[in-house]
């Protein structure tokens, strides 16, 4: 089954539709499910993130639905100016219901919400001329993977994780295979072992959304624990943070060292912003800084 079809089917049987439409339409359909809790747990922030992502790509239905959420204060602070702008943008793309809403709200008087005016905090490699177009190659190799790329782009900013880092982990861990399972029972896209899945409240590691959320939560924690050191974060993801602490750096395991190299080759950054409120840093970093000071 193509990845796009597998992604849609994995959310719930209530989805009731295959991946026949465009990428943005598929994303809007998923967003509607999460907005209303149809076959999946209701998740308004995720629905909004997906609407924003599709709206940035010019999808009229996404613009209309996002306008409806602002007009009704659904998951966001009510803002009739934003709603009117979104309905106006949807109307110019031929959305008839948007015309009707404009009669009640009047003419737009704002640029629209920030999520459609600006790209996410972290750009993808396809937007960055300084790297080797990692995301572009992911999609070129298999166009169906765009569904997963869009999903990561929608979710990662919620965890303050660069989508490129998450995509590098997915590419290295599972090669974008939703059903991947390792000999050590690591499961799904981001290869969560059962202990990690439980730690980050993942009930079904083969559900793409749950798996990516769990992997992102772990990356956010590792980034705080290792204070944004990508090599240590990658080593921790592969071998566990305890192994990194024991060896006071990247463990001398060939698998882990190869893994770190692959992540750095794909992500192309050695440091990453982190939220220090997530967890205290490892004592190992403090000890290393003390040892490095000249006597």
Higher pLDDT residue, 110 or 185? 185
Domains located in the chain, CATH noted: 3-117 (1.25.40.10), 125-292 (1.10.530.10)
Phi, psi of 181 (to 5 degrees): -145, 130
Averaged pLDDT, 66-80: 90
Q: Can you tell me whether residue 181 is helix, strand or coil?
A: strand
The residue written with tokens 């998740």 in the block is 43
- CB-count burial class (<10 Å; 0-12, 13-18, 19+) for 262: middle
pLDDT digits (tens, 9 = 90+) for 238-292: 999 999 999 999 999 999 999 999 999 999 999 999 999 999 999 988 766 545 4
> Strand, coil or helix: what is 20?
coil
Residue matched to tokens 């861990």: 173
Q: What is the dihedral of CA 242, 248, 251, 252, to 10 degrees?
A: -150
Percent of the chain surpassing pLDDT 90: 48
For 3, 9, 55, 79, 175, the CA distances from 109, given in Å and listed in that order, are: 41, 40, 18, 11, 45
HSE value, Cβ hemisphere, 13 Å, CA-based, for 5: 4
Task: State how far the Cα of 262 lies from the Cα of 234, in Å rounded to an integer.
Answer: 9
Percent of the chain topping pLDDT 70: 82
Catalytic residues: 173
């Amino acid at each position: 089954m193509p990845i796009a079809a597998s992604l849609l089917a994995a959310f719930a049987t209530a989805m009731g539709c295959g991946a026949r439409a465009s990428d943005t339409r598929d994303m809007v359909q998923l967003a509607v499910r999460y907005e209303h809790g149809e076959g999946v747990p209701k998740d308004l922030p995720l629905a909004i993130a997906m609407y924003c992502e599709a709206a940035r790509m010019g999808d009229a239905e996404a613009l209309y639905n996002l306008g409806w959420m602002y007009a009704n204060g659904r998951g966001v602070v009510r803002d009739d100016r934003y709603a009117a702008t979104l309905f106006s943008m949807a109307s110019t793309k031929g959305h008839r219901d948007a015309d009707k809403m404009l009669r009640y709200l009047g003419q737009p008087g704002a640029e629209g919400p920030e999520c459609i005016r600006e790209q996410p905090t972290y750009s993808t490699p396809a937007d960055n001329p300084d790297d080797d177009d990692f995301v572009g190659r992911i999609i070129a190799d298999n166009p169906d993977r765009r569904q997963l790329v869009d999903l990561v782009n929608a979710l990662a900013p919620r965890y303050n994780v660069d989508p490129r880092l998450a995509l590098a982990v997915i590419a290295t861990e599972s090669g974008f295979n939703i059903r991947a399972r390792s000999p050590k029972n690591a499961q799904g896209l981001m290869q969560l072992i059962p202990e990690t899945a439980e730690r980050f409240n993942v009930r079904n590691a083969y559900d793409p959304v749950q798996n990516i959320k769990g992997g992102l939560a772990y990356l956010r924690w590792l980034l705080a624990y290792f204070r944004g050191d990508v090599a240590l974060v990658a080593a921790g993801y592969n071998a566990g943070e305890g192994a990194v602490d024991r060896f006071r750096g990247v463990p001398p395991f060939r698998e882990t060292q190869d893994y770190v190299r692959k992540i750095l080759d794909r992500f192309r950054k050695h440091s990453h912003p982190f939220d220090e409120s997530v967890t205290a840093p490892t004592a190992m970093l403090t000890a290393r800084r003390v040892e490095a000071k000249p006597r």
